[in-house]
Structure 1
């Protein structure tokens, strides 16, 4: 059961966990320097000091875990911030101190320590932070959110996922306890250890799943229904399981339809209706995940080698599909190790 001390405990855990000197991105009173530094970590934006009675005194701490980044950002003076649309990421903003007015063209809220804001990539954002506002930020790439909701639903989404703007985060015990624990755990992760890269990818998945479960979005009712109802036909489930068990084999649509005991047309319509993809696209997605796991675990000597291992022979097409799925090229993943 939530009590009023939860905010203070959470805020202190976050502050002590992220505010290390080696994570300080900047500390400055100069508006242009602050705007450039925050824009580099988040995205370019308009920054206007709306009250010159107090010095800007801005500072930012930053910690990255896999594809997700955590930041603590504070402005000493009142500021107006307009980043336009975020474009390629979602942003959770949790005030540790102070208040911020947040408008995403659909809703307007006054965010404080008991009400976070969750910004979706598709809306024009306008914010006004009061002087002394100190926020904890969780930046999650859009492809990661989309992959995770696809995994939860069992099919690809057609409409963009949009969170409600206001997030009563204290109502989720999992969210309250998860973030401080992960930040503390991340302090002991070596960025050069390949096994830790794989751990970081799993933590990314955990954080994203927790957010999708804790906070309302336009697919919440569908994902809730799936907790009690499995709507996939037997032949679709069977072929999914077969693909995952025989991922290294040469599989064709005709063969998969034959082992499932259905027509080729029924197989395609079943996958399209319930998973949103064709059987072969489902196979490619599973193999693509295997490629990424091999790279992150340090098993890949070269991108070409690991791609060939999992059945990708056209390197140009493979690289484009990989970037679309993971928001980076396979060589960028390899170079990050």
Structure 2
């Protein structure tokens, strides 16, 4: 009697296949559509065995990507997103800033980050497989703002490489595997929109803790040491209810302190006022909306009013100071 053959384990996200091709041009087109524009070359023009399975939301795109050949991707600055690769098998080499930064990732051992502000190049070995993840700037930077309790106005200068075998890097890999498993599991909690949003937020938090960046030391400081309870309560309330009418007296009542004490607490611990903090959070929400929107379906006025801005010329000036461009420019390049 012949031995039974064990069933083959499906690849991650196999039910969400968007590409299976040998053609370099087709692979470039599909991966550009899902992620970002780039150039793709295979060694000596050999055919690929390329596959991409992916799911996307406003917070992140999670993909399982294989090229099946020696392949090189050359990318300009990503502009509107961060890209994170978690290498599952094989090996990749990643360079940034014209080759001045470099990391080599091996299956189950390392990952790499590509930045919105810098060019990069990624070379794959034929056996390399990866979780390929895109994180739009707006939702990720807003999530960090919520964790820090203050607006984040600078791009996150993530380290080029990180360790998946231990510490917070291993936590990131575990978080992504958990999200992928729940997406693949029939009846998994990822089928419930609220549960899926919570899982995705978990992945964003794991990324911010798992890869070093300019805010890492501040993020590791316990919240109670960064801000007193009243300031923290108002920060949390503002992030949860930024689309609702909020005044300083209302925020003070929510925190159980006087308006004057709240003003003093914000000045001492954040160097701003509660009103300015609320305005900056709302500006970040508008910015994220415009980056994700289509100019044909969205107007700047509509998004500004939705987030509580009534004086549009004043809004546009605050927006320009914060993001270095007019909101209409953000919408056009979104």
**Cα RMSD (Å):** 4.4
- CA shift at 1:25, angstroms? 0.8
Partner of 1:138: 133
Q: What TM-score comes out, normalization by structure 2 length?
A: 0.70
Indicate whether 1:174 and 2:167 are aligned.
no
Partner of 2:326: none
- Alpha-carbon separation, structure 1, partners of 2:240 and 2:67: 53
Indicate whether 1:37 and 2:33 are aligned.
no
- Alpha-carbon separation, structure 2, partners of 1:75 and 1:120: 22
- CA shift at 1:240, angstroms? 4.8
Match of 2:20 among 2, 27, 42: 27
- Measured against aligned partners, the alpha-carbon deviations of 1:30-85 in whole angstroms (never above 9, x if no partner) come to 22111111100011111122334x42221211123552121111112222211211
- CA shift at 1:153, angstroms? 1.4
Q: Is the 8 A contact 1:238 1:260 kept in 2?
A: no
Partner of 2:80: 88
Q: Give the secondary structure class of the aligned counterpart of 1:51.
A: helix
Q: Is the 8 A contact 1:116 1:168 kept in 2?
A: yes
Partner of 1:157: 152
Indicate whether 1:196 and 2:188 are aligned.
no
- Alpha-carbon separation, structure 2, partners of 1:245 and 1:35: 39
- CA shift at 1:130, angstroms? 2.4
Indicate whether 1:55 and 2:47 are aligned.
yes
Residues 151 and 242 of structure 1: CA distance in aligned 2, closer, same or farther (over 3 Å) = closer
Gaps of 5+ in 1: 1-11, 293-306, 326-337
- Alpha-carbon separation, structure 2, partners of 1:47 and 1:204: 29
Q: Is the 8 A contact 1:239 1:260 kept in 2?
A: no
Partner of 1:184: 181
Partner of 1:236: 231
- CA shift at 1:313, angstroms? 7.7
Residues 107 and 272 of structure 1: CA distance in aligned 2, closer, same or farther (over 3 Å) = farther
Q: Is the 8 A contact 1:162 1:217 kept in 2?
A: yes
Residues 126 and 42 of structure 1: CA distance in aligned 2, closer, same or farther (over 3 Å) = same
Q: Give the secondary structure class of the aligned counterpart of 2:221.
A: helix
Residues 243 and 142 of structure 1: CA distance in aligned 2, closer, same or farther (over 3 Å) = closer
- Alpha-carbon separation, structure 2, partners of 1:78 and 1:246: 49
- Alpha-carbon separation, structure 1, partners of 2:76 and 2:259: 49
- CA shift at 1:159, angstroms? 3.1
- CA shift at 1:124, angstroms? 0.7
